[in-house]
Amino acid sequence: MNSEELKPGFQGSTPRALLENATISVKKEELRKVLSQLKDAGFDHLSDVTCVDYPDEREFEILYHLWSHAKKCRKVVKIRLPRESPSIESVSNIWEGAQIHEREICELFGVNFEEHPDPSPLFLEDWKEIPPLRKDFDTREYVKREYYDESSSEQKEGGCFLLPFGPQHPASGHFRALIDCAGEEVTGLMLYPGYLHRGIEKLMEYRTHEQNAMLVDRICVLEPYSYELGYANVAEKIAGVEAPERAKFIRTIMTELGRILSHITWIGMMSFALGFESANRIAWGDREKIIRLIEIASGGRIYPCHFVPGGVRRDFPEGFEEKISRVLNHLQKKLVFYDDLFFKNATVIKRTEGVGVLDAKKAVELGTTGPNLRASGVKSDIRKDEPYEAYPEVDFEIVTQTKGDSYARVLCRRGEIAESISIIKQLLEKIPKGETRKQLPRKIPKRDARFCLEAARGEACFYMVGNETDKPYRVKVRGPSFSHTLMTFSYLAKGAQVADIPAIYWSLDPCPSDMDR
């Protein structure tokens, strides 16, 4: 790196500082230069772009969260913008995946990104108020005026209609996709998300920790446990409290169960997408066994509301450990059965092998994480790289594949089910006795914290800012499906056969509910 070039930039002012400090503040003019230098220095994954509104200081703060797959470390680049007519250079020419995060900020905060390839709104339609995530927009006022006032007129109707994509309907949630095709080949794909957008990040600013713990569940339908874990951890981190040891073990066990649940649901979805309905019915029947376990442990079926900041709400009931072991043994046997039925099925192999090939470099560029990235040969797993909760205590392998096609992603998930079973078994042997919940101080201190974890679909991150009140000032959620659907899927779909679209889509295992938030 050229040290002359870097000098006038940021406050640390030497290139060493650029690499050593975890957080750097830059000025607006140097943003692109600094970020591209960081990228060359190995920070190849742009995890998230976050915006925080500070109306009292009349500024927006934009944070670029970076991660280096080679060095396994994080870095934050901060930049302050004036609140009146905020404008900043787009970095989508450095990371292609930045595009989508910038588009979100542009819509929800009204920050202009210069030279952005497509700044059209993502989530909302006909929005006439001030951008909703700004602090001066009061959602409760707005809702009262709009919905609970009987005299207000009815909603205006839009004119377009939903176009189901591909030959089959995606079985989970929805978004609109327009497919351009020349014969059988897809030449272009436009995605219109936002049918499930409900502004969870805004709602969190109005609720206390306890109430938020119930709300984060609803971010992702297929795997709520990971998000609960993320919220509980970020709240503990910002308060400087550690959860009790036993609570950590319980959380890890339940999160891993959630991972198996999510992957088994996905077997059903994937086989449904391939038109192979027997496997679908059988997998969704098996799902019930794990849900039953979650129900016994937490009292809820889909949304357990089990983890809260400071621990867990319920300890394991009597004899629960044996019940888990029994189900795990059953699943282990069943996995061989699934091998014959699904994973080594000639039809499945024919439909997925060589379809939707994603090479490692492009995958990182697009912001792909989790099993989809590991299927392309990148050995990256946050559970190993920055161990959290009880993961330091267990011994497991990172499942990787090399080919990067849909079949590699299928096999990757199969490997992960097996690994998760072994992780839970190890944890059950080591689980300590003791208390399970600590009380957190009511006020959230005035600082920020970020916590990343490996959800079943990839990297999920929570960023929280406190403000000496009992409600968080800002929470930003980074869901893996946001990049997977909007960047990776549209990249892979281009040039594919129309009939392969469901196979590609479901091999990525996205969750539209997590994408829209």
Residues of this chain, 381-400, that bind another protein according to CB under 8 A: none
Tell me the site size for another protein, rule CB under 8 A: 78
Spell out, one character per residue from 280 to 299, where the chain touches another protein: x when CB under 8 A holds, - when not. xxxxxx-xx---x--xx--x
| Ranges within 475-514 binding another protein (CB under 8 A) | 513
Q: Point out which span in 144-152, 320-328, 374-382, 488-496 binds another protein (CB under 8 A).
A: 144-152
| Ranges within 45-74 binding another protein (CB under 8 A) | none
Does residue 206 belong to the site contacting another protein (CB under 8 A)? yes
Tokens for 300?
């809820």
CB atoms within 10 A of CB 93: 14
Whole-number Cα distances in Å, 336 to 21, 73, 416, 417, 465: 49, 38, 14, 12, 47
- Give the nearer residue to another protein in terms of CB position, either 219 or 358: 219
* DSSP at 205: T
- The binder of another protein chosen from 197, 246, 251, 263 (CB under 8 A): 197
Q: Point out which span in 37-45, 56-64, 145-153, 401-409 binds another protein (CB under 8 A).
A: 145-153
Does residue 313 belong to the site contacting another protein (CB under 8 A)? yes
Does residue 132 belong to the site contacting another protein (CB under 8 A)? yes
Give CA 445 to chain center in angstroms.
26
Rounded Cα distance, 44 and 63, in Å: 16
∠ CA 361-366-370, nearest 5°, is: 85
Does residue 340 belong to the site contacting another protein (CB under 8 A)? yes
Q: How many CA atoms lie within 13 A of 455 on its CB side?
A: 32
Does residue 172 belong to the site contacting another protein (CB under 8 A)? yes
∠ CA 407-411-415, nearest 5°, is: 170
- Give the nearer residue to another protein in terms of CB position, either 301 or 430: 301
Q: For the purposes of burial, counting CB atoms within 10 Å of the CB of 150, is it exposed (0-12), middle (13-18) or buried (19 or more)?
A: exposed
Using an 8 Å Cβ cutoff, are 202 and 140 in contact? no
Does residue 173 belong to the site contacting another protein (CB under 8 A)? yes
Q: How far is the CB of 205 from another protein (least distance, A)?
A: 11
Does residue 182 belong to the site contacting another protein (CB under 8 A)? no
Rounded Cα distance, 236 and 50, in Å: 20
Q: How far is the CB of 162 from another protein (least distance, A)?
A: 4
Kind plus residue range of the DSSP H or E element containing 248: helix 245-273
Q: How far is the CB of 169 from another protein (least distance, A)?
A: 5
Does residue 89 belong to the site contacting another protein (CB under 8 A)? no
| Ranges within 342-381 binding another protein (CB under 8 A) | 342, 344-347, 349-350
Q: How far is the CB of 335 from another protein (least distance, A)?
A: 13
Rounded Cα distance, 281 and 36, in Å: 49
Cα Rg of the chain (Å, integer): 23
